[in-house]
């Protein structure tokens, strides 16, 4: 079977960044382990991947990230302590993940950017199309989860997909911004993308958020991608190479997204999820 026809079976979670915007909290705790209410950001991401039919999680970690591995593992003493009590329910979802998913790790030795983190994940992904979730972009909606929407779209288009959102132009310097032509409602064939442009240079108001489906040729492209904006290897630059052969679509996803990598977005997500528990 041609590899683009394969089902999306694996999800990569780049989680090696320093999370400097959350210092001092992130001095010893990975940003991806900060909780919205009682659940770490990364667990929300893993649950979204499972909803999309994926049960193999590949996590790119770095120094100081051991809490991630401990979280996605058994905790015999604790479990023994709460078994048969009213607290058992609080561990139901994580126990289910640990029991039913394959979770593997690799370390990014040097934090050379998101593109480099994804390239580091090749050893866990191999030669097949895969999903990427940035757990600090927390998505929610009442219908299908964002990654489920994208996996369905992949079955139709069989090329790399980036999730995009309309942003106020003054925020363009925080995102990769795309340009292209609409193929169908909410689906844009990408012709250009620019990493963190100033608003005057932004090719549109459509910004890439932390959900991707990537075809495996991205790894060879990343290997040849020179450091870009901020001296980091940018996934946007590698995707532009794919886009030049028509190989990337952008998808205006249905749902809400919170930028939990910023304090403001983190607080908004906390309030939103708390209010949901009160409904
Ligand atoms: P961010 O730029 O939002 O994360 O990267 P950061 O660098 O940790 O945050 P600040 O700006 O210092 O607060 C987006 C995602 O990419 C991962 C991060 O862990 C985050 O999930 N990432 C980024 C890596 O895994 N490796 C890198 O070299 C850079």
178-209: per-residue pLDDT in tens?
999 999 999 999 999 999 999 999 999 999 99
From the CA of 119, how far away is ligand 1's center (Å)?
A: 14
**166 Cβ contact partners less than 8 Å away, ≥ 6 residues apart:** 205, 206, 207, 252
C-beta 229 within 6 A of ligand 1? no
What percentage of the chain reaches a pLDDT higher than 90? 91
Looking at residue 11, what is its pLDDT?
98
**Per the domain annotation, does 111 fall within a domain?**
yes
**Per the domain annotation, does 18 fall within a domain?**
yes
**75 Cβ contact partners less than 8 Å away, ≥ 6 residues apart:** none
| Domain around 19 | 7-277
C-beta 134 within 6 A of ligand 1? yes
Looking at residue 105, what is its pLDDT?
97
Q: Which atom of ligand 1 is nearest to the CA of 134?
A: 21
74-104: per-residue pLDDT in tens?
988 998 999 999 999 999 999 999 999 999 9
CATH classification of the domain holding 171: 3.90.550.10
In the 3-class helix/strand/coil scheme, how is 206-241 assigned residue by residue? Answer: EEEEEEEEECCHHHHHHHCCCCCHHHCCCHHHHHHH
For a mutational test of ligand 1's pocket, the pick from 41, 124, 261, i.e. the residue with the most ligand atoms closer than 8 A to its C-beta, is 261
For a mutational test of ligand 1's pocket, the pick from 11, 17, 46, i.e. the residue with the most ligand atoms closer than 8 A to its C-beta, is 17
| Four-residue CA torsion sign, 73, 75, 80, 84 | negative
Confidence class for position 1, pLDDT limits 50, 70, 90 = low
**Per the domain annotation, does 2 fall within a domain?**
no
**Per the domain annotation, does 243 fall within a domain?**
yes
From the CA of 30, how far away is ligand 1's center (Å)?
A: 11
Rounded to 5°, the CA angle 81-26-262 comes to: 115
Looking at residue 71, what is its pLDDT?
96
**Per the domain annotation, does 86 fall within a domain?**
yes
From the CA of 76, how far away is ligand 1's center (Å)?
A: 32
Whole-number average pLDDT of the chain = 95
Distances (CA, A) of 155 to 8, 142, 148, 152, 204: 9, 22, 11, 5, 27
CA distance 106 to 87: 33
Domain count across the chain: 1
**Per the domain annotation, does 1 fall within a domain?**
no
Looking at residue 221, what is its pLDDT?
96
C-alpha 275: how far from its chain's center?
Answer: 24
């Amino acid at each position: 079977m041609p590899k683009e026809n394969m089902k999306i079976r694996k999800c990569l979670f780049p989680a090696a960044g320093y999370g400097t915007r959350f210092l001092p909290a992130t001095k010893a705790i990975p940003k991806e382990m900060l909780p919205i209410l009682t659940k770490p950001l990364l667990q929300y991401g893993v649950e979204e991947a499972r909803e999309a039919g994926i049960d193999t999680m590949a996590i790119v970690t770095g120094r100081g990230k051991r809490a991630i591995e401990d979280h996605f593992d058994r905790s015999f003493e604790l479990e023994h302590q709460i078994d048969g009590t009213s607290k058992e329910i609080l561990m139901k979802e994580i126990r289910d993940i640990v029991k039913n998913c394959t979770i593997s790790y690799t370390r990014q030795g040097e934090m050379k950017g998101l593109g480099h983190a994804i390239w580091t994940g090749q050893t866990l992904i191999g030669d097949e199309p895969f999903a990427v979730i940035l757990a600090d972009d927390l998505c929610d909606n009442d219908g299908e989860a964002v990654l489920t929407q994208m996996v369905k779209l992949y079955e139709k288009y069989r090329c790399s997909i980036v999730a995009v959102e309309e942003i106020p132009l003054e925020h363009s310097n925080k995102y990769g911004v795309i340009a292209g032509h609409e193929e169908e409602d909410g689906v844009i064939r990408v012709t250009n993308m620019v990493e963190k442009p100033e608003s005057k240079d932004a090719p549109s108001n459509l910004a890439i958020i932390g959900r991707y489906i990537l075809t495996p040729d991205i790894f060879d492209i990343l290997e040849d991608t020179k450091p870009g904006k901020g001296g980091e290897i940018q996934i946007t630059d590698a995707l532009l190479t794919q886009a030049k052969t028509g190989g990337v679509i952008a998808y205006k996803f249905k749902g809400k997204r919170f930028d939990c990598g910023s304090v403001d977005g983190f607080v908004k997500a906390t309030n939103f999820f708390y209010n949901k528990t009160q409904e």
